[in-house]
Amino acid sequence: METRRITVLSAGLGVPSSSRLLADQLAASAERHLAAAGFAVRVEVVELRELAVDIANNFVTGYAAPRLAEVITGVQDSDGLIAVTPVFSASYSGLFKSFIDVLDPKSLEGKAVLLGATGGTDRHQMVLDYAMRPLFSYLRTRTAATGVFAGPQDWGHADDGGSSLSERVDRAGRELAGLLSGPQEGRKAPMPESLPFEQLLAGISGGH
């Protein structure tokens, strides 16, 4: 059974945060759809607020502390990303953008990405298409068509007849699973198996 690795980036600042709640729902949806398609799934959730000091120091020193370096490697090695940010001043948070800036831009090329955002009013939902999507388009990712914004009205309320949060989350998770089901452009090729010298020599001798 093939495995798909998903790294979930949550830029929420509170404990708990609505960004983390949305990130968890998106991850569960993607995992459910991938499992239905016959894939094993490994999910790693990263709370960027826990890396805030390391991210700032990285800009000043050019050095990534061990935990930040581990997260960067995890992002680079993952098949897909779920990126969720709270909205500040009609855009993604500074913490979210700062983490993206410490990554090697080429490391995200071809990677499947699902976008999510949270905010205090529905007026902020445009951040998905006017801030986040252009950013990841610049990084040449394969971004799911559906991004999910969650406002205060989406938490703990029944469906009002429109597209409920659960429906949007399910559709977005299904789209990410679709992107992850085929050959992965960003997946590293497996290292060739190293054979013992005697076995290599026997193979060479057998060819003559």
Domain that holds residue 11: 3-206
Instruction: Tokens 């968890």: give the residue.
Output: 24
Contacts (Cβ under 8 Å, ≥6 apart) of 127: 87, 90, 91, 92, 117, 119, 149
Q: Supply the CATH number for residue 39's domain.
A: 3.40.50.360
Q: How many domains does the chain have?
A: 1
Token representation of residue 134? 């252009």
Using one digit for the tens of pLDDT, what is the confidence trace for 135-190?
A: 999 999 999 999 999 998 888 755 544 569 999 999 999 999 999 997 766 555 44
- Who has greater pLDDT, 86 or 200? 86
Contact 31, 40 (CB under 8 A): no
Q: What is the pLDDT of residue 121?
A: 79
**Residue 13, φ and ψ in degrees, nearest 5:** -105, -25
The CA–CA distances, whole Å, from 87 to 31, 167, 194 equal 26, 22, 49
pTM of the predicted structure, to 2 decimals = 0.85
The CA–CA distances, whole Å, from 160 to 8, 35, 140, 164, 165 equal 29, 30, 36, 8, 11
